[in-house]
Amino acid sequence: MSPVRKAIAAASLGLAAFAPACRAESLHAADLWTDTKLYFTAPARWDTQDWLFFGGAVAAMGAAHQFDGNVRRHFTTSTQPLDGKDPHSTRDAIPAGALMVGTWLYAGLIDSEAGHIEAYTMAEAAAFSTVTSVALKYAAGRLRPNETTHVDEWRSSGSSFPSLHTSAAFAIGTVLAESGGDDYRWFRRFLGYGIAGGTAYIRLHDNQHWLSDAVAGAAIGFASARFTLNRREHRAHKWDLSVAPAPGGGVSLGFNRILD
């Protein structure tokens, strides 16, 4: 099985494994299907802020592309073989995976419904970013810097652009960084974005990706995480119970369900 197919399988299994953890918000297959449809059709509903983020991400990738060759030369030597091998793929995926699994295990230890939901949100964001990254890999076909010294070897059956490890790490890390209360926000962001940034760095250090690959992966992961966080917030407010004074004394209960 190719590394790309392994990544897709891992994302699917991870999402399935964390699905039971969503019992607190009654997330069913229909909710996941709705999230999937909304994710892949999101550009049709983007507002000005979304398009500004997209434009900024493209500009950042373009700027990074100008330094692709310099970054490669910084981390490699002229004698390094162009064999395309990736012996540390699993090692580089472990830190982000540990964040997700650790969140789920800790939530179970303290019986935290919010923690279970957070773990599922991480899995969903990682799955969406993985599918997006793999699709772009096939479309771009860019050769890795350990396969060629030329920065513009596109449509050459490569799998360099974007960095899948980086996109998944930023998807998981962003959910960790932006979830929970503000009491430990600084620590969450330090840990989440730190591991995500560290993952991107090690992929560059080991000559597995060009700088622009890592920037693209980070943008995909961050955007995927923000989407799943917004969906989580939407589902949290899908059910609304209100209490108000009733005419003539007493109280009245109001119940409302927001339909997708």
What are the tens digits of pLDDT across the range 103-136?
A: 999 999 999 989 999 999 999 999 999 999 999 9
Residue 193 tokens read as 């974005």
DSSP assignment letter at 252: E
pLDDT the model gives residue 140 = 97
User: Residue 33 is which amino acid?
Assistant: W
Q: What is the CB neighbour count within 10 angstroms for residue 156?
A: 14
CA distances from 8 to 20, 164, 237 (A): 20, 10, 31
Decide if pLDDT at 180 tops 60. Answer: yes
At 30, the pLDDT band (50, 70, 90 cuts) reads confident
Name the pTM for this structure.
0.84
Angle made by CA atoms 10, 231, 215, in degrees to the nearest 5: 60
Q: Which of 85-94, 151-160, 238-247 has the lowest mean pLDDT?
A: 238-247
CA pair distance 197, 221, nearest whole angstrom: 12
